[in-house]
Structure 1
Amino acid sequence: MENIYYLLIVCLIFWYFIYLRKISEYARSHINTYCNSENLQFISLARKSSRMNFDKKHGPHWVSIFEFEFSGDGESSYLGEMQLRGYKVDGVNMPPYKIN
Structure 2
Amino acid sequence: MIGDLLAFLGLSFACFLFWQQRRQAELAKAAIKRKCDQLDLQLVSIALGAHKLKTPAGRWRWHTIYQFEFSALGDDCYVGELIMIGFRPMNFSLPPHRM
TM-score (norm 2): 0.86
What pairs with 1:1-100 in structure 2 (closer than 5 Å)?
Answer: 1-51=2-52, 62-99=62-99
Deviations 1:19-70 (A, max 9, x none): 11111100000001000011111111000112467xxxxxx96411000000
RMSD: 1.6
CA contact (8 A) 1:83 1:89 kept: yes
Q: Can you give the 5+ residue segments of structure 1 that lack an aligned partner in the other structure?
A: 54-59
C-alpha distance in 2 between matches for 1:9 and 1:61: 24
Runs of at least 5 residues in structure 2 that lack an aligned partner in the other structure: 55-59
CA–CA separation in structure 2 for the residues paired with 1:96 and 1:61: 28
TM-score by length of 1: 0.86
Residues in 2 aligned to 1:47 and 1:34: alpha-carbon distance in whole angstroms: 17
Contact 1:26-1:87 within 8 A present in 2 as well: yes
Percent identity reads 26
